[in-house]
A and B are shown apart, each in its own frame.
Chain A
C-alpha cells in the first residue's frame, strides 16, 4: 500500500533561517513525487515533480531532492511569504495516475 509520511508536522523559522522538510514514502513503482504549496483557504499549488533518485529541482528559495526512500524540500533564507503548508504526494503504478498525499508540513516564517 502506498504511504507518505511528512515531518515535521509544523515548523517555525526566523526569516533567513534555512531548513528542510522531509517526505518519506513507500510506493510500488514510483512514477513521480510531487510537492505542492497550500495557503490557508486555497487549493494546493503545484511546485515540483521529481521522477528518479538523484534528481533535484529548484525554484527561487526552494530546492527539492529525491532518494529511493524520501524527498527533501530545502528552504534557503526563507521569507514570511513562504509561510504555508507544504504537501508531498506520490504517484505509483496503480490507478489512473492517482496521487497519494501526505498530511503536510505547516511552515511559519517569522519576520
Chain B
C-alpha cells in the first residue's frame, strides 16, 4: 500500500505559469483535502472533496481550482501562479482521521 502519494515533489514556476498537483490514494477513502503550509501559519485548508465528483472551498481557496473525477485522485490546479502561492502543499485523505501525503514544495518566482 502506497497510502497517499503526491506528484511532483518539487516545482519552480514563474509568475503567471500554470500547473497541476496530483494526489493519489489507495485507501478507498471518500474524503480528500488540499492544504498549504506556510511558516508561522500552520496548515490551512484550500479545497476538499467528500466523494467522487464533488468539491468544496476551504479556508483559502482563491487562486486554486480542484477536480475529483476519480475517487482515488484529487487534483489541485493553479491557473496563473503568483509569488504568494509559494508554499508546501499537502494532500490528505480521511476515514476516521486524516492521513497526509509527503508534500509538494512549490516556489513561484
| A36: nearest chain-B partner, CB-CB | B100
Chain B, 83-104, CB within 8 A of any chain A CB? 90, 92, 94, 96-103
B56 at the interface (CB under 8 A from A): yes
Q: How many residues of A contact B (CB 8 A)?
A: 22
CB distance from B43 to the nearest CB of A (A): 4
CB neighbours of A25 from chain B (8 A) = none
Please state if B96 and A49 are interface contacts (CB–CB under 8 Å). yes
B2 at the interface (CB under 8 A from A): no
Q: How far is the CA of A8 from the CA of B73 in the complex (A)?
A: 37
Please state if A46 and B42 are interface contacts (CB–CB under 8 Å). no
Please state if B90 and A104 are interface contacts (CB–CB under 8 Å). no
How many residue pairs at the A-B interface have CB separations less than 8 Å?
50
CB neighbours of B96 from chain A (8 A) = 49
B74 at the interface (CB under 8 A from A): no
- With most chain B CB atoms within 10 A of its CB, the pick from A49, A87, A103 is A103
Please state if B101 and A103 are interface contacts (CB–CB under 8 Å). no
Please state if B42 and A101 are interface contacts (CB–CB under 8 Å). yes
Chain A positions near chain B (C-beta within 8 angstroms): 4, 32, 34, 36, 41-46, 49, 87, 89, 95-99, 101-104
